Amino acid sequence: DLTQVAAVLPPRTWSSSTFDPELALSHDSQWLALHGPSNVVELRSLPALPITARVPGDRPVFAPDDRWLVTRGTNQLLKFSLPEGQLLSTFDSTEAMVGTPAVSPDGLRLAAIAASGQILVWQTSESSPQLRLGSSSNRWEGLFFMPGGRDLVALHAKDGMLEWFEANTGQSTRRLATGEGSVTSVALSPDGAFVLIGETAARLRLVELKTGHVELLEGDTGSVLSIAWSPDGQTLAAGTVEGCLKLWNTRTRRELAALRGHTSMVTALEFSRDGRHLVSGSVDNTWRVWSAPKLAETEGALP
């Protein structure tokens, strides 16, 4: 199992100067983007991890076809070519942005949360926002586009409510309550049927979008700060405030492993697209790559 594999094959670790760990893996698993020191994103080639380009900004996100990368700059989003790192275009805002931007599945729209609480939506062919959603009274903890790109979903920070907006018009079309208590992170399942939400408590919410059913996955290692789905949807991962990584099987809802290697908060987490590796970043100034032949406990998708 993964615990034994991690013990036999120690995770690869490399350090950087003090910064907020953020990462993104390209869809073809060829590129790893890391937020490095001095507000710079390092583009590294896998598997050897040499740096091929450095671009300004933070919160990196790859395009669906991996032809470009978006980072968050000061009052704008920045779009760079891959692998050269050449600036292609900018997407402007009148104020600072918070959180990680979202890219639509067709690559034609970008969305980001403004410091005021509004959600800004751009067409990738235009530098000015097409839409401004929500109000200054909202506080959001995350964004994602649904498959097809017609709907943008935002997570309310105070209670984990999910709210749907039409990407073309900005109209709010649905709200789904998922529980009580503040939340920290959100991730859509690979098939678009479930949402995983991390809480400030030591647990996850697993939400079935069609029925609205919410299931709680309890933990014992502090607040959840980062979450990720394996590409096959069979494994859930959570990084905690205490530096632990917790894994669950989605079919059985059983905990698979608790991986300990970081000494402080795990704020960045993502699976490789082949499901064989899990990359984690911590405020202890290290990144770790965890390897295993198969992370899932059993075969089968979410019921």
Q: How many residues does the chain have?
A: 303
Query: Phi and psi of 6, rounded to 5°?
Result: -65, -35
pLDDT bin (cut points 50, 70, 90) of residue 9 is: very low
Distance CA 49, CA 23 (A): 13
Token reading at 174: 């649905």
Distance CA 161, CA 172 (A): 13
Could you tell me if 87 and 73 are in contact, meaning their C-beta atoms sit under 8 angstroms apart? no
Token reading at 105: 């599945």
Buried b (16+ CB within 10 A) or exposed e, 23-33: bbbbeebebbb
- Is pLDDT at 36 greater than 70 in this prediction? no
Average pLDDT over residues 94-102: 93
pLDDT bin (cut points 50, 70, 90) of residue 37 is: low
Amino acid at 136: S
- Is pLDDT at 50 greater than 90 in this prediction? no
pLDDT bin (cut points 50, 70, 90) of residue 281 is: confident
Distance CA 238, CA 18 (A): 22
Average pLDDT over residues 49-68: 93
Token reading at 44: 């590294």
Helix (H) or strand (E) holding 255: strand 255-260
Any alpha helices (H) in the chain, and if so which ranges? Answer: 2-8
* Residue whose C-alpha is closest to residue 272's, from 232, 226, 300, 224: 232
Of 66-70, 169-173, 245-249, 280-284, the range with the lowest mean pLDDT is 280-284
SS3 content of the chain, % helix, strand, coil (to 5): 0, 50, 45
Any alpha helices (H) in 28-156, and if so which ranges? Answer: none
- Is pLDDT at 11 greater than 60 in this prediction? no
pLDDT bin (cut points 50, 70, 90) of residue 15 is: low
Instruction: Assign 3-class secondary structure to 166-195.
Output: ECCCCCEEEEECCCCCCEEEEEECCCCCEE
DSSP code, position 22: -
Distance CA 303, CA 301 (A): 6
pLDDT bin (cut points 50, 70, 90) of residue 45 is: confident
| Stronger pLDDT, 183 or 136, i.e. the higher one | 183
Distance CA 206, CA 236 (A): 10
Percent of the chain with pLDDT over 90: 58
| Stronger pLDDT, 300 or 51, i.e. the higher one | 51
- Is pLDDT at 267 greater than 80 in this prediction? yes
- Is pLDDT at 206 greater than 90 in this prediction? yes
- Is pLDDT at 136 greater than 70 in this prediction? no
Strand partners, 162: 155, 176
Helix (H) or strand (E) holding 97: strand 97-103
Average pLDDT over residues 276-289: 83
Amino acid at 262: H
CA dihedral sign of residues 32, 264, 226, 232? positive
Distance CA 77, CA 14 (A): 28
Token reading at 8: 């036999």
| Stronger pLDDT, 164 or 261, i.e. the higher one | 164
The C-alpha R_g of the chain, in whole angstroms, comes to 18
Distance CA 228, CA 230 (A): 7
Burial class of residue 173 in the structure, from the number of CB atoms within 10 Å of its CB (0-12 exposed, 13-18 middle, 19+ buried): exposed
- Is pLDDT at 259 greater than 60 in this prediction? yes
pLDDT bin (cut points 50, 70, 90) of residue 222 is: confident
